[in-house]
Amino acid sequence: MSKLVILGAGGIAIVAADIARCQGFDIVGFLDDNPAKHGTLLSGAPVLGDFSLLSGLREAAPQVVVAFSNSHGRLDVAQLALSYGLSLPKLIHPSAIISQYASVEQGTIIMPGVIVNAGAFIGGNCILNTAASIDHECRIGDGVHIGPGARLSGLVTVGNASWIGIGCVIRESVHIGTDVLLGAGSLVLSNVPDGVVAYGAPANVIRANTASGHTQQLGNGLGHLSLVGSKSVLDKRR
């Protein structure tokens, strides 16, 4: 039985552990930077310590999966793991339907009920959350999080490290840029530029996604999306 350490100790990590066991992995434990979790049990396995332990894992558990929500953090920790000679398996729940003509890169976690149709490409270290649907010929960049129940029509592209909120619906052939945050339940009918928060039905650009570090001036190249005031529903919730 292959040994696996899960990086992160929250809700995503719990689901990742369940999927990993379905694939026959032996969960050695979890790593997390929250010291309050160290020494506790999560999903029947110990939280061993923080990410500084990565450098010594290769002998005990040569495979890791990064299972927390922050997209840039996930990509950074994945690169650190690779630099220590660790490998990043993909975790795919047995109830997911993945076309034999789709491609899924290493480190990606695909949760129960997900559908990935023919010709789709899913980048590395993505999270496709419960019951998300990725239709034909979509291209999903590295480190993307697709929320539960999101629906991406055919030929949609999503840039690296973007977050597609729960229940979003994205029209065919739409391009979502890098470092984009789409709020829950959004209906996206036209392209979304890099580094913005967008929300609504239809989706509007709300503001720059400052958490991504993206600094482009809003107001250019927004297509049919409109720029709205800062006192939006999404701003109040953040």
SS3 state of residue 165: coil
pLDDT digit string, tens, across residues 42-98: 999 999 999 999 999 988 899 999 999 999 999 999 999 999 999 999 999 999 999
Known catalytic residue at 136: yes
Mean pLDDT score, 32-42: 96
**CB-count exposure of residue 144 (10 Å: 0-12, 13-18, 19+):** buried
Higher pLDDT, 129 or 224: 129
Structure tokens at 121: 């490409």
pLDDT digit string, tens, across residues 135-144: 999 999 999 9
Catalytic residue among 38, 136, 175, 214: 136
Return d(Cα 27, Cα 38) in angstroms, integer. 16
- What lies within 8 Å, CB to CB, of 36 at 6+ separation is none
| Domains along the chain with CATH numbers | 3-89 (3.40.50.20), 92-237 (2.160.10.10)
* Number of other residues whose CB lies within 10 A of the CB of residue 160: 21
Is the predicted pLDDT of residue 182 greater than 80, yes or no?
A: yes
End-to-end CA distance of the chain: 43
DSSP symbols for 5-35: EEE--SHHHHHHHHHHHHTT-EEEEEE-S-G
